[in-house]
Amino acid sequence: MIETRDLTKKYGDTFAIQSIEMKLEKGDLFGFIGPNGAGKTTTMRIIATLLTPSWGEAYVDGNSIYTNPKEIRKLVGYMPDFFGVYDDMKVIEYLEFFAAAYRINGEARRKVCEEMLGVVDLEFKRDAYANTLSRGQTQRLGLARVLLHDPQVLLLDEPLSGLDPRARIDMRNLLKRLGEMGKTVIVSSHILPELADVCNKIGIIDCGVMQFNAPVADVMKHVRANVQLIVRVKEQTDETARLLEGHELVAGVDVRDGMIIVTLKPGVADYSELASVIVQGGKRIVEFREDQIDLESAFMALTKGIGTKAKPIGGGTAE
């Protein structure tokens, strides 16, 4: 649905972005992570055909930004990080104004505006003036606006910025809903925890260079090559640890506060026989599970040492 190749934007001797490679399929929710000024907005504006790259290529549903920009604009809904609303317009009037700009007329216009208010949970503000909305409500109104023409691709630049905790939760839930609707979404943020439980792919950008770009599952594998198991038994914890320590699948065993941490050898995916070893050894299992790394911890590990001269870590495209 979205593909970029060697996408580069240069201002004088300064690179805003450099050789950005990205590939997203229908339904992907891509978390675009990086500090302010890293190049997220530049990349999104190029994909939206609002900015011309110095060189490189970008495609949306097979359409080139150079040869088919009008087709791309029909497919894309772009919400910038800051946008204004018309103070003297009611919420429903605001949406109808933009629906008319998309050439949605007559009964269809009213219907789609009402539907989008429902999608973003803003029906209760239908007749309120736009300037009376809170920051979170304004963000939801902006999202309703970009959904009016039913775009297949959404480019959301810092949609969670400046929101209170409740509004951030609401917006994250809305992003999940958009993914379930089959939309391909790029959502940028400089704070990873905002997107950690939402996206299925992430890209980390710094100083215009894509440092990491992969499915979330691959990020976890990259951070920890060896799977770790958490094991608890009813009694005889130390004896159980010694029982597991010599197994051919196990690289190491550690006991902490009555919990056995089992590190498997690289490449081991099926560890079910270890549970049988414990049971056959006469021990009763209370807990047996794979330890999970959260995306925030993975991000901190991946970005450790990234700076102005850092080179990309991980592989090019997220496929």
Residue written as tokens 């209170």? Answer: 164
Q: Considering the domain boundaries, does residue 52 fall inside one?
A: yes
Give the confidence band of 314 by pLDDT, cuts at 50, 70, 90. Answer: very low
**What is the C-alpha radius of gyration for the chain, rounded to an integer number of angstroms?**
24
pLDDT at 170: 83
- Structure-token pair, residue 143: 């999202």
Q: How far apart are CA 25 and CA 94, in angstroms?
A: 32
10 and 35 assigned to the same domain? yes
Which whole number is the average pLDDT over 208-213? 88
Q: Is the pLDDT of residue 282 over 60?
A: yes
pLDDT at 312: 41
CATH code for the domain in which residue 237 is found: 3.30.70.100
DSSP secondary structure code for residue 182 in this structure: T
Q: Is the pLDDT of residue 189 over 90?
A: no
Q: Considering the domain boundaries, does residue 313 fall inside one?
A: no
Q: How far apart are CA 201 and CA 26, in angstroms?
A: 12
Domain that holds residue 274: 225-290
Please spell the DSSP secondary structure of 2-23, one letter per residue. Answer: EEEEEEEEEETTEEEEEEEEEE
Q: Considering the domain boundaries, does residue 318 fall inside one?
A: no
pLDDT at 311: 40
61 and 203 assigned to the same domain? yes
Q: Considering the domain boundaries, does residue 314 fall inside one?
A: no
279 and 197 assigned to the same domain? no
Q: Considering the domain boundaries, does residue 311 fall inside one?
A: no
CATH code for the domain in which residue 213 is found: 3.40.50.300
Which whole number is the average pLDDT over 233-245? 91
- Structure-token pair, residue 260: 């056995």
Which whole number is the average pLDDT over 63-91? 89
248 and 123 assigned to the same domain? no
Task: Summarize pLDDT for 130-179 with one digit per residue, the tens.
Answer: 889 888 888 889 999 999 999 999 999 988 877 778 878 888 888 888 88
Total number of domains in the chain: 2
Q: Considering the domain boundaries, does residue 194 fall inside one?
A: yes
Task: Summarize pLDDT for 23-58 with one digit per residue, the tens.
Answer: 999 989 999 988 888 899 999 999 999 999 999 999
Q: Is the pLDDT of residue 107 over 70?
A: yes
Task: Summarize pLDDT for 2-13 with one digit per residue, the tens.
Answer: 999 999 999 999
More reliable by pLDDT, 295 or 128 = 128
103 and 29 assigned to the same domain? yes
Q: Considering the domain boundaries, does residue 319 fall inside one?
A: no
76 and 209 assigned to the same domain? yes
pLDDT at 71: 94
Give the confidence band of 294 by pLDDT, cuts at 50, 70, 90. Answer: low
88 and 210 assigned to the same domain? yes
156 within 8 A of 31, measured Cβ to Cβ: no
- Structure-token pair, residue 76: 């894309």
Of 87, 97, 106, 190, the C-alpha closest to 144 is: 97
Please spell the DSSP secondary structure of 51-81, one letter per residue. Answer: S--SEEEEEETTEETTT-HHHHHHHEEEE-S
Q: Considering the domain boundaries, does residue 308 fall inside one?
A: no
Percent of the chain at pLDDT > 90 equals 51
Write down the mean pLDDT value for the chain. Answer: 86
- Sheet with 250-256, strands from edge to edge, namely 250-256, 259-264, 228-233, 285-290
The pTM of this model reads 0.74
34 and 85 assigned to the same domain? yes
180 and 54 assigned to the same domain? yes
99 and 231 assigned to the same domain? no
pLDDT at 302: 62
212 and 247 assigned to the same domain? no
Q: Is the pLDDT of residue 96 over 90?
A: yes
What distances in angstroms separate CA 265 from CA 23, 190, 193, 218, one per listed residue? 32, 35, 30, 18
129 and 248 assigned to the same domain? no
Q: Is the pLDDT of residue 99 over 90?
A: yes
Please spell the DSSP secondary structure of 101-166, one letter per residue. Answer: HTT--HHHHHHHHHHHHHHTT-GGGTTSBGGGS-HHHHHHHHHHHHHTT--SEEEEESTTTT--HH
Q: Is the pLDDT of residue 197 over 70?
A: yes
